[in-house]
Chains A and B, each alone.
Chain A
Amino acid sequence: MINLTVNEQPVTVPEGTTILQAVRAAGVELPTLCFHEGLAPYGACRLCMVSIAAPRHALVASCAYPVEEGLAVETNSPEAVSARRLALEFLLSRCPQSEVIQEMAAQEGVTASRFGTPPPERAEELCVLCGLCVRVCREAIGAAAIGFIGRGMERRVGTPFDIQAATCIGCGACAEICPTKAIKIEDRGNKRILHTWHTTVELHKCPQCGKLFAPEPMAFLGEMFPEIEEQWALCPECRRARTAQQWVEQRFTSPA
């Protein structure tokens, strides 16, 4: 176990914990955009900056910094506060239409940006380039359907050649994980349209009730988990019904 302090309050956390986790364990909140428990630390949005006073003085991104014995973390040092505010002010200037950013900024006391507005072609921008969608698609799903394109201010997320991504399974994890709701997905008829990715996948029809519910490309999961393959084809409701029925049958046929 590692002992450290967060705003002078002692905290003990397991080795390998990040400062962010330790800070949250101490009941102190920090804003984050690019952080997710299920994915590797990324350190891109720079919202979770904190000061460390010992063993050396530095400003660090808490989400990516592993705790060390004797670390003294300050979440409200003037540098940390100013670094977080400037990051939010710049993100507000990048995505003035984003309600999520507006709220986060307001919580840090930033209500307007001194850094101008995006050019007309990006006026509706909602993407803050936190990379969660790219990472969840690659690291957690393994589809790697989307990636970063270009660099610097030109950097954006997209599919190769900005056309239908052959490896997209339509799972929607990208939209689910996006902190600023920048990814547009719509189920229309027997199709799931991932507007942001110029990609459309077929939806699977429940053989029992006929309801469209899951993207066809995800059928491979059934094969991967043979113990559930039989139920895989069913929509969640029919699956529940089937499970309940099995449970009842089992209960009344086997000795109690």
Chain B
Amino acid sequence: MPLIPQPPPPAGGALLARLHAINAEYGYLPEEELRRAAEELGVPLSQVYSAATFYAAFSFQPRGRHTIHVCLGTACYIRGGEKLLEKLESTLGVRPGETTDDRAFTVETVHCVGSCSMSPVMRVDGDTYGRLRADLLPRILRKYREQEAGGVSDEGM
């Protein structure tokens, strides 16, 4: 028993669920939201902050409007996932974890999205693109830029 009495722990999974909710709403974890989460869940702020910095899904930086996840799982890696990343880096001028100046895209790498049979794979927001080649990337990026420009493109892959 610690010297300072503790509130009961939150329900199982509650802290992760709350962090996901904040991240989904803001695109990252703002400090004041983490403080509020700690208070409302009755969890020490240090614990909230530990969890927030531990998991790859959470960010402390605002993201671009679209997040690109280049998969570097084993199957993607040996079938050229790195090449996709390199092409993306040179096309967008950003490194993994960075956001383009126009805030359109944030590029991230991910350790497997579980679409290994379609490797190499990339995910843009919720859409997964499989059987990719570096030369197909510009077309995909264009689709998202056009969506933003208001012109709805239904160009499938």
How far apart sit A166 and B26, CA to CA, in the bound complex (Å)?
Answer: 25
How far apart sit A140 and B48, CA to CA, in the bound complex (Å)?
Answer: 19
The reply to whether B2 and A141 contact each other, CB–CB distance below 8 Å, is yes
Which of A59-67, A99-107, A111-119, A147-155 sits within the interface? A147-155
Given known contacts A147-B50, A148-B50, A161-B31, is B45 in contact with A167 (CB within 8 Å)? yes
Given known contacts A144-B46, A147-B46, A160-B45, is B2 in contact with A139 (CB within 8 Å)? yes
- Residues from chain A with a CB closer than 8 A to the CB of B3 are 140-142, 221, 224
Given known contacts A141-B3, A142-B5, A151-B54, is B49 in contact with A161 (CB within 8 Å)? yes
- Residues from chain B with a CB closer than 8 A to the CB of A132 are none
| Size category of the binding interface on chain B | 10 to 19
The reply to whether B49 and A149 contact each other, CB–CB distance below 8 Å, is yes
B74 near A: Cβ within 8 Å? no
B47 near A: Cβ within 8 Å? yes
B53 near A: Cβ within 8 Å? yes
Closest-by-CB residue of A relative to B4 is A142
- Residues from chain A with a CB closer than 8 A to the CB of B34 are 160
The reply to whether A146 and B46 contact each other, CB–CB distance below 8 Å, is yes
Given known contacts A151-B54, A161-B31, is B47 in contact with A144 (CB within 8 Å)? yes
Which residues in A have some Cβ–Cβ distance to B below 8 Å? 138-151, 159-161, 165-167, 169, 220-221, 224
20 contacting pairs across A/B (C-beta < 8 A): A138-B2, A138-B44, A139-B2, A140-B2, A140-B3, A141-B2, A141-B3, A141-B4, A147-B47, A147-B49, A148-B54, A149-B49, A150-B53, A151-B54, A160-B34, A165-B46, A167-B44, A169-B4, A220-B4, A224-B3
